[in-house]
Copies of this chain bind each other. A is one copy, B any other.
Amino acid sequence: MPSGDDPGGRPLTERGARTRERLLAAAREVFEERGFLETRVTHITRHAGVAYGSFYTYFPTKEAVFLEVADRLFEEMTDHALVPSAGPGPADRVRRANRAYYEAYLRNARMMAIIEQVATFNEEFQELRRKHRASSVGRSARVIARWQREGLVPSDIDAETAAGALATMVDHSLYLWIVQGSDPRGAERLLETLDTLSVRALGLPD
């Protein structure tokens, strides 16, 4: 599909779908390896073992692949928040949510850092991220609001704002831990601290 007007993208054949998938996988790996800014389209195609031009058969720009790679990743991360199955008590539930998020974050550590990078200059991407963030924070906020109604959490804080702040604390602490070398020793300490701070910040009975 040598151009034309549409940036097209969706392959019609099995073979095309395979190539597209190869490109997506390669893109992710290269992005993780070099960051968005240092990634060249050649790097991706070389890594995927396809011709240079084939990239543009499936993606109109470098940004476009990134967006899609990130989108898939967001899907995977989506399940954090305070949702996972009811547990013994609220504090434990916070801890478990943190842990789930932690694991997902670490699984995608490099990409999470690159996502942070792109978010600093690409508006379209910023928006995508804001949305994912908002839905995730919204879920936490609803849980907190319920706890407030149940008298487990003081009512003098705004559930939404608090959920956002705590999510940010967890999220960005992990980010910094990653970009600053991911000292494996520090991981457990960090995680425990985040758990404890979250629980206490909400005033939950430990």
Contacts and interface: CB of A to CB of B under 8 A. Distances in A.
Interface residues of A, number: 50
A121 B35 contact: yes
Q: Kindly report how many copies of this chain are found in the complex they form together.
A: 4
A120 B116 contact: yes
A3 interface: yes
Given A120-B113, A158-B189, A197-B157, A166 B168 contact: no
B157 A37 contact: no
A126 interface: yes
Given A46-B4, A120-B113, A157-B196, A173 B168 contact: yes
Interface of A: 1-5, 35, 37-38, 40-43, 46, 52, 113, 116-117, 120-121, 126, 130, 156-158, 161-162, 164-166, 168-169, 171-173, 176, 179-180, 186, 189-190, 192-194, 196-198, 200-203
12 contacts: A1-B42, A3-B40, A4-B46, A5-B40, A38-B121, A165-B173, A168-B168, A168-B172, A171-B172, A198-B201, A200-B201, A200-B203
Closest 4 A/B residue pairs (Cβ): A4-B42, A169-B169, A117-B120, A201-B201
